[in-house]
Structure 1
Amino acid sequence: MTRAAVFLCLILASASPALAQVTGPVPPAAAPSPETAPAANVLPPSFASERARRLDELYGRLREAEGARQARAIEAQIGMVIAQTGSDTADLLMARAQQAMQQRQADLALSLLDSVIDLYPETVEAWSRRATLYFSRRELGRAITDIEHVLRLEPRHFGAMVGLGMMLQQLGEDKSALTAFKRALEINPHIERVPQIIKRLQPTVDGVEL
């Protein structure tokens, strides 16, 4: 995995660490069969409403955080809320996908994430993890499509914005990348390394005065 892919994994995980903490044995990976698999599901209104309320509160606290330590704690809480699926089936599939990623079984992880997205298309974390996998495989078009879907579901997902900025940089779209990095920093002023990236990119986009 390239250094950029590692950084993307870390920045996305910082906004969604709950699944990275899966421990203990996980049952053999297998997506639900067509006979038992439910149709595409949406979040229950009460679940979605409570999650939105909690995220509003946490993002507000993140902007006002005093210091990196406090910010990291709030980032972890945001990540756990975002990672909630509202479905035991989706949770199990996500745990299996996470295990497959840890074991470098990319094809299996992609298959499991595809199943989650097909069955539970509002699962932000599934789109985010799949984008990371695509990025690690240098499939930037697919990775960007998934990241954009993450941002449609959760427009304040600062990890996804940083990931999008990194991908746009690789495609030579420095101006759009800079916009993504700046937006991420507006939402979370405590993201590590992003201020330095912005500082390096700004002269490239604006031009250097003689």
Structure 2
Amino acid sequence: MRGVFYCLTLSFGFLASGLVPAQAQDGPPPSVTDPDRLPGVAPLPGEDDSLSPPMVIPPPDEAPTDNPDAFGSAPPTEEETAPDEDTRTADETPVQEIDRLFTELRRVADARDARRVAGRIERHWRRSGSATIDLLMQRAARAMTREDNAAALDVLDQALVIAPDYPEAWNRRATLNFSMNRLGKSLADIEQTLVREPRHWGALMGLAIILEQTGHKDKALETYLRVLAVYPALDSAQDAAGRLSEELLGPAI
């Protein structure tokens, strides 16, 4: 059954075509804050500016029914990434490198090797190209760790004022809205993430989780299969697709 999952590529169209779950429609995305508040980027209340956590704190490769800390896969371990941290050839652009890494990710069957490739892709996604955005993303991650949702939303809104084309800021806000059970807003942010990076398996996993939780299991299965078309070795997507396929279509003979 798993081999079938690997070769399927499904289109993302049910958000734009009006198939977003009705019970998830809780209003338009929140408006962004006044960019005039940005100069100086003051620390958040209770924040220790000496701390420098990673810009994004991805979750484990967990069961799809769990609320993720972020829509994304677990980062590879130090041991998995240390030997070949820089793989770009001399004449390869960043876009060419990430395209090559996605091709490699589709071909890797071993989960450990796939995590190494996925980790390199996620590092590309985290490169905003702006020190200000990187700082705001760090502060959003710290606020989310403290469960200070209001502060995290404020900082992410600021990041999106400055860099509306940065997919990880949309993905991070989608994660936060999901954790607050604001599913309509999370769906809107997921859609914005996928407009900018259609191969973002973390955003696709978030979309599939929401569709499954709101009873749209057929669309959830389609989305899990789309994850597997991008990242075939992702265990959580394999498990979810197998479980839903058996539930909707019956056990494989």
* Whole-angstrom distance in 1 between the partners of 2:193 and 2:245: 26
1:87 matched residue in structure 2? 130
Relative to the length of structure 1, the TM-score reads 0.76
Q: How many residues align?
A: 176
User: Whose RCO is larger (CA < 8 A, sep 6+)?
Assistant: 2
- Mark the CA change 1:188 to 1:166 in structure 2 (over 3 Å): closer, same or farther: same
Shift of 1:141: 0.5
**Which digits, 9 at most, give the CA deviation of each residue in 1:35-71, with x for residues without a partner?**
xxxxxxxxxxxxxx94422210110111122411111
Question: 1:14, 1:159 within 8 Å by CA — same for their partners in 2?
Answer: no
Corresponding position: 1:76 with 2:123: no
Say which SS state the counterpart of residue 227 (structure 2) adopts.
helix
Corresponding position: 1:157 with 2:200: yes
* Whole-angstrom distance in 1 between the partners of 2:94 and 2:75: 15
2:211 matched residue in structure 1? 168
* Whole-angstrom distance in 1 between the partners of 2:178 and 2:148: 15
1:131 is matched with which residue: 170, 174, 193? 174
Give, as a single letter, the amino acid of the residue that structure 2 aligns with 1:99: R
RMSD: 2.5
Equivalence map 1:157-196=2 (5 Å): 157-196=200-239
Shift of 1:124: 0.9
2:143 matched residue in structure 1? 100
Say which SS state the counterpart of residue 193 (structure 2) adopts.
helix
> 94-103 or 50-59, which moves further after superposition?
50-59
* Whole-angstrom distance in 2 between the partners of 1:132 and 1:56: 25
Question: 2:71, 2:175 within 8 Å by CA — same for their partners in 1?
Answer: no
Question: 1:14, 1:79 within 8 Å by CA — same for their partners in 2?
Answer: no
Corresponding position: 1:14 with 2:74: yes
- Mark the CA change 1:139 to 1:114 in structure 2 (over 3 Å): closer, same or farther: same
Shift of 1:16: 11
Equivalence map 1:6-85=2 (5 Å): 6-9=66-69, 11-14=71-74, 50-85=93-128
Q: Hey, which of these two has a bigger chunk of helix by percent?
A: 1
Say which SS state the counterpart of residue 164 (structure 2) adopts.
coil
Gaps of 5+ in 2: 1-62, 78-91
Question: 2:143, 2:151 within 8 Å by CA — same for their partners in 1?
Answer: yes
2:14 matched residue in structure 1? none
Relative to the length of structure 2, the TM-score reads 0.64
- Mark the CA change 1:152 to 1:16 in structure 2 (over 3 Å): closer, same or farther: farther
1:111 matched residue in structure 2? 154
